[in-house]
Structure 1
Amino acid sequence: MNQTETLSVIVEREMPYPPEKLWRALTQPHLIEEWLMKNDFKPVEGHRFNLRGDWGGVLDCEVVAIEPHRTLSYTWNFMHDDAAYNLRSVVTFTLTPTNTGTHLRMEQKGFRPDQKQAYGGAKSGWKEFFANLEKVLARAE
């Protein structure tokens, strides 16, 4: 793999809820905080916001595409004193209605081949985020 190629983390889940319910969890700040991180998100293309992790890190984000109940895409950038840890990536959620609910696909792309730690962290992190999301959906109305 050459240095211009990037890696993606992809997580897919079948959720027994309608797209509208998932959409709320993906776009309402108080719900995003419950499954992902503290934030000042607004579902508006071009809106810049931060995701603030419990670990003290801050992600700089900007909504790049939004199609209600179908697609949400935003930058997920992390700047670090050590440039090797800098991450410029894009997270895209795609919701596809199914007979039993919604197929949710998340892709985070933009990991450089030398960012093995960030890539591994994202792979395990998204599994945890999705487990939290399922809990939020199970009790949210």
Structure 2
Amino acid sequence: GVERKGSPVFGYLRISQQPIRRKMQVYEPDILMILDDSLVVLPATYEGLKEGGTIIMNTVKPLEELKIPSQAGSVAVVDATGISEKILGRNIPNTAMLGAFAKVTGLVDKEILFQEIEASFGAANREAAQMAYDQVKSVEA
């Protein structure tokens, strides 16, 4: 996109067994994936999260520093940055976060996801996704 390098970026994804006809932004998400915990100070980070929603965050910070909103039903954390630095040699937490997403939500078939990650991004990225899948922890909201 046109975002400046290093600036916050928001994206969205709709998942359904039925055809999806809506092509607009998601304003009230059921799940938030936060790849950079420094964004929790921005009001827009948690904006619109549905009551009982799920937050999956790349962090090693204690929960009290994360400003978790009261409507969050569940929170899961994983050190996707540490995993990516260990496995990939640099801070690219995306595929590790996909592994955490698969474990926390159960919305995607883990084996198919991991096969696709390996086919598209290589075996090291699959390993990062698997490690995050194994290490993600649910914490009290």
Q: TM-score, normalised by structure 2?
A: 0.30
Judging by fraction of residues, say which structure has more helix: 2
Q: TM-score, normalised by structure 1?
A: 0.30
Higher relative contact order (CA 8 A, sep 6+): 1
Judging by fraction of residues, say which structure has more strand: 1
